[in-house]
Amino acid sequence: MTAKLPGMRMYHDLARWWPLLSPPSEYEEEGPDLLGRLPRGTGPGSLTLLELGSGGGSLAFHLKPHYKLTLTDLSPAMLAVSQEVNPECEHLASDMRSVRLGRQFDVVLVHDAIMYATDPAAVQATLTTAAMHCRPGGTVAVLPDYVRETFIPGTECDGHDAADGRGLRYLEWRWDPDPADNTYVVDYAFLLRESDGTVRIEHDRHVEGLFSRADWLAWFEKAGIPARSAVDSSAREMFVGVRGG
């Protein structure tokens, strides 16, 4: 889910830079790790997977050889990026809290888009969406960046260059201004180099949700998809549930 709010510019006016911020190559370890935790079909595309909040499609790039994918996101700009990367996949503009496609899938995935569910009602609405679109006996997987027990303030930096001479470098700074509430802040500073060599600086702020492991497990149970938690190859908390009949 990428809501059009003040801040979160990387999903809107800065979306064309996404391939230099988080390309498919960034998921070469995480993609296979996730695949190893999900049900596998008898052949390519024999199972269906719905991703809610699929963003630029960089993770989907690693999933599409194994599933028939339907990718949804609230941001048309991010869907356009994903369509360049995954032209063979179905893309739909929609909100993960409320979309109703009228069909069910073998797997429903919510990656780090779940971080933009910043209150319990939004998380539970998203899990309800996931449960409604998951066939009985199917799998729902949700991968928040952090749960309350694992959150650590800190910084990261990275970036990539394009063949046309453009380049991006970023500093990510996550911090929690109020540990008593259910959110934390991520500030981004971007250095953006155009193909003519000019460089500019842009700031972007994201407010993200932070909930306890026990809350997550209780919300999965309430949605009818009892789940277990595990830690993936990126040290991210991962919740995997199976929808009851």
User: In 3D, which of 204, 207, 235, 220 has the Cα closest to residue 21?
Assistant: 204
User: In 3D, which of 152, 121, 120 has the Cα closest to residue 236?
Assistant: 152
Residue 101 burial by CB count (10 A; 0-12/13-18/19+): exposed, middle or buried?
Answer: middle
Q: Could you tell me the pTM of the whole model?
A: 0.94
> Tokens 């996550």 label which residue?
174
Q: What is the pLDDT of residue 234?
A: 83
pLDDT in tens, 190-201: 999 999 999 999
pLDDT at 4 over 80: no
pLDDT band at 44 (very low <50, low <70, confident <90, very high): confident
pLDDT at 3 over 50: no
pLDDT band at 40 (very low <50, low <70, confident <90, very high): confident
- SS3 state at 27: helix
pLDDT band at 162 (very low <50, low <70, confident <90, very high): very high
Domains recognised in the chain with CATH numbers: 9-147+211-242 (3.40.50.150), 154-209 (2.20.130)
171 Cβ contact list (under 8 Å, min separation 6): 155, 156, 157, 188, 189
From residue 17, give the alpha-carbon distance in Å to each of 30, 33, 91, 97, 194. Answer: 22, 26, 20, 26, 10
Range 171-200 average pLDDT: 98
pLDDT band at 58 (very low <50, low <70, confident <90, very high): very high
- How many helices (H) does the chain have, and how many strands (E)? 6, 11
User: What are 112's two structure tokens?
Assistant: 């780090």
User: In 3D, which of 122, 112, 156, 135 has the Cα closest to residue 8?
Assistant: 112
190 Cβ contact list (under 8 Å, min separation 6): 10, 14, 17, 168, 169, 170, 201, 202, 203, 204
The fraction of the chain above a pLDDT of 90, given in percent, is 91
Q: What is the pLDDT of residue 7?
A: 67
Q: What is the dihedral of CA 10, 59, 120, 136, to 10 degrees?
A: 150
Q: What is the pLDDT of residue 86?
A: 98
